Chain A
Amino acid sequence: MAKADRIKIALVGNPNSGKTTLFNLLTGLNQKTGNFPGVTVDKKSGFSKLPDGTTAEIIDLPGTYSIYPKTLDEQIVQDILLDPEHSQYPDKVIVVTDASNLKRNLLLFTQIRDLGIPLVLVLNMMDVAQLKKLNIDLRGLSIDLGVKIIPTNSHSGDGIAALKEALTQPLVKSKKPFYDIYDLAPKTIDAIKTEFDLTENYRAYQYAQQSVRLNFLNDKEKEIIAKIKSENGFYDVPTQSQETLGRYQFISDIVDRNVKNSRDPLKKSVSQKIDRVVTHPVFGYLIFFTVLMLIFQAIFAWAEGPMNLIEGSIAEFSGWVKDILPEGILSDLLTDGVLAGLAGVLVFIPQIAILFAFIALLEESGYMSRAVFLMDKLMRKVGLNGKSVVPLISGMACAIPAIMATRNIESWKDRLITIFVTPFMSCSARLPVYAILIGLVVPEQQVLGVFNLQGLVLQALYLLGFLAAIGSAYVMKLILKTGQKSYFIMELPGYKIPSWKNIGLTIYDKSKTFVLEAGKIIIAISIVLWVLASYGFNDNFRNAEENVRQKVGVNASQEEYEVALSSYKLEHSVAGSFGKIIEPAIRPLGYDWKIGIALITSFAAREVFVGTMSTIYSIGASDDDEVTIRERLREEKNPETGGAMYTPAVAFSLMVFYAFAMQCMSTLAIVYRETKGWKWPIIQTVYMTAVAYISAFITYNIFS
């Protein structure tokens, strides 16, 4: 079937209505994440086979409580539904509601219904409604609301078949609006309807309410609307209040008529009982920190096996490639460049997967919003917001999804500060850098009988990142002035048993994105680095063989000669020259030009460090595992002192530098997108690098 023939169906609903679970049930693995055209909101869409043999494209729109958006993600719902010319404008809409909480969920439904888009109403979470002892008269509700209703239970999948069946049938547009908006602003509505050639009163009314925010209207059109509004005395806020109250009045009547509650209102629900414990002044924080500790332990303990497996397989594969390809540039480029880079990406998958599994678990179960509730007061003290907890925790996996998660923070100042400090949280890309350096200088021993010293140092580094984030937030709070008041109105959804399918899909989706996005950069950098480190344009490089021959003397063995030759070539290669150029600047931190090269390449992405080190220390990719790199680093001599190059002072200084420095082009790119300009990414880079430099300098001097 041709693409154009596919009908588009949008899923719309309140947050926590089980919309995403329903989306997963409708599309299965047949989904993709992209961007809505022109904006950076994640667009999740997928295909669903309907009983009549046709395929429908299902679009999962961000959850929202009403058609009036409060966050950037919610804006897209309005952008699409109010603009019939939009490429994503749906042929049909599925409005998903939480059947156990109908009153509030129906507000959005009535607004979308009045836009005149064919729709079907899904009463999801029927199981929860039953638990709450709600008796819903589906027939009566359907007649009163004037819409086809499908009851579903997205946990068991009940009702999905009926929903698919309903989607194949023509859905009637009701002629009469649910709530007649006309009387609220007759002149304004008439004028806009004529000007823009609209049929529905509610559409015209929405033009008046939201013209400033509507991206599809040009400036001239916005001016016309503003003129119509002022001529007819249309005021946004009071009219919106009147509208919402009016809608609720109808909704309340209908719900009261068709939903009977047979539960004792004074009896506490399970969610309420759990909440008493989870938000308790002592147990609440205890549980919160235990959860965080558990995540840490899981990331380090559970990921180790699969990580070793991945590293081992790639090393084997690389060896195999070396064997079958004739020796030469191609073989070197593939193994030392591409495969070494690829290993650096793939090896993170287990950690990324575990972290995202935990985050999804916390969100799905409903615990995340309790953590937000619990931390809001403390976070506000340092200029953040309870909702900053989610990005800060996600930042331990990767700053990129974490920064995108800040979109739920309504206040721009709170959001900006969160974006600014999130990269300080130690992300998984820093882990291999820490791991290799800790292994080098911290002895493997037990402290107090239970703690592993290396593990403690690692946790100290994570704590350092967290403290830097909090401290910087506090400074930003003092500097940034804003008249905009921050507010915090958030639903605490009932606890749910997480859907494993949802969590599995999240893991799959996030890992895939990580491999594709980070992979591109890392492989590109690895190849460029390999070229820069293998070629040079100065006379020293051209005459390398002669110069080295003279230096090592005639008595040297062939092997000694080759080792000397490769390190001589590296020193005089393009990369080597770069390293030498920045050497004076990093000498106070204890680094030499070889570390300098790693610092330069790490600017693209931190995880390049290990790969760069292995390239620099001329280790073939065939035995490209951390132990060999570590041994090579251990043997490295400082040419000035004759002692080991990687003293504790140098290693700690490097770790502190990596903990603080902004070394991630993807993060910069995402900050640029989210703050809509280069101002903040530049300030952030300068600030973080300065903090890193000064702290590394202090660390080096303390330990040496």
Chain B
Amino acid sequence: MRSLAELKKNERGIINGFKDDSLSVKLIEMGCLPGTEVSVELIAPFGDPIAIGVSGYCLSLRKDEAGCIMIED
């Protein structure tokens, strides 16, 4: 299974679950819900952080954090 960090720019995916419990609470609060579609909107120069479109808005997070979000194949 891939993580959000492996998605390329403009690629879409559906959130499947999280690898890290305490981080997942924060991500869920910010609207990263399992079953929700995400798309990679921006990648900062030097490849990190990234910005994703989720639940109707734009959220930026680091590669490490994106790595905790699992994407359905």
Cross-chain contact of A489 among B27, B33, B47, B55 (Cβ < 8 A): B27
On chain B, which size bracket covers the interface? Answer: 20 to 34
A373–B44 CB distance below 8 A? yes
With contact pairs A279-B44, A377-B49, A386-B49 given, residues A487 and B23 touching in the complex (Cβ less than 8 Å) = yes
B45–A284 CB distance below 8 A? yes
Nearest A residue (CB) for B53: A272
Complex Cα distance, B22 from A252, in Å, reads 23
Nearest B residue (CB) for A375: B44
Does A58 touch B at the CB level, under 8 Å? no
Cross-chain contact of B59 among A66, A245, A487, A492 (Cβ < 8 A): A492
Tally of A-B Cβ pairs under 8 angstroms: 111
With contact pairs A279-B44, A487-B26, A488-B65 given, residues A373 and B49 touching in the complex (Cβ less than 8 Å) = yes
A275–B25 CB distance below 8 A? no
A490–B60 CB distance below 8 A? yes
Does A491 touch B at the CB level, under 8 Å? yes
Interfacial chain B residues near A305, Cβ < 8 Å: none
Residue interface bits A86-100, CB-to-B below 8 A is 1, else 0:
000000000000001
Instruction: Give, as a whole number of angstroms, the nearest-CB distance from A556 to chain B.
Output: 71
B25–A489 CB distance below 8 A? no
Complex Cα distance, B31 from A271, in Å, reads 20
Does A68 touch B at the CB level, under 8 Å? yes
Does A70 touch B at the CB level, under 8 Å? yes
Nearest B residue (CB) for A134: B56
Instruction: Give, as a whole number of angstroms, the nearest-CB distance from A132 to chain B.
Output: 8
With contact pairs A487-B65, A489-B61, A489-B65 given, residues A377 and B31 touching in the complex (Cβ less than 8 Å) = no
Does B72 touch A at the CB level, under 8 Å? no
Cross-chain contact of B62 among A241, A252, A376, A492 (Cβ < 8 A): A376
B29–A68 CB distance below 8 A? yes
Complex Cα distance, B51 from A276, in Å, reads 11
Complex Cα distance, B49 from A280, in Å, reads 13
Interfacial chain B residues near A487, Cβ < 8 Å: 23, 26, 62, 64-65
Complex Cα distance, B44 from A102, in Å, reads 27
Interface size of A by CB at 8 A reads 42
A492–B21 CB distance below 8 A? no
Residue interface bits B4-40, CB-to-A below 8 A is 1, else 0:
0000000000000000011111111111011000000
Residue interface bits A349-385, CB-to-B below 8 A is 1, else 0:
0000000000000000000010001101110000000
Complex Cα distance, B40 from A122, in Å, reads 31
Nearest B residue (CB) for A245: B28
Which of B44, B55, B61 gathers most chain A CB within 10 Å?
B44
With contact pairs A245-B33, A373-B49, A377-B49 given, residues A101 and B26 touching in the complex (Cβ less than 8 Å) = no
B28–A279 CB distance below 8 A? no
B56–A101 CB distance below 8 A? yes
Residue interface bits A492-532, CB-to-B below 8 A is 1, else 0:
11100000000000000000000000000000000000000
B49–A272 CB distance below 8 A? no
Does A248 touch B at the CB level, under 8 Å? yes
Sorted nearest first, the 6 A-B pairs with minimum C-beta distance are A281-B45, A492-B58, A104-B31, A377-B46, A101-B57, A244-B28
**What residues of chain B have their CB less than 8 Å away from a CB belonging to chain A?**
21-31, 33-34, 41-42, 44-49, 51, 55-62, 64-65
Q: List 30 A-B contacts (CB under 8 A).
A: A65-B29, A103-B31, A103-B55, A103-B56, A104-B57, A237-B22, A241-B21, A271-B58, A275-B42, A279-B45, A279-B51, A284-B45, A285-B45, A373-B44, A373-B49, A374-B44, A376-B49, A377-B48, A386-B49, A488-B61, A488-B62, A488-B65, A489-B26, A489-B27, A491-B57, A491-B60, A492-B51, A493-B57, A493-B58, A494-B58
Other than A103-B55, A376-B62, A494-B57, give 20 A-B pairs with Cβ distance below 8 A: A70-B26, A100-B56, A101-B55, A104-B30, A104-B57, A237-B21, A238-B21, A240-B25, A241-B24, A245-B28, A248-B31, A280-B45, A284-B45, A373-B42, A374-B44, A377-B46, A487-B62, A491-B30, A491-B60, A492-B57
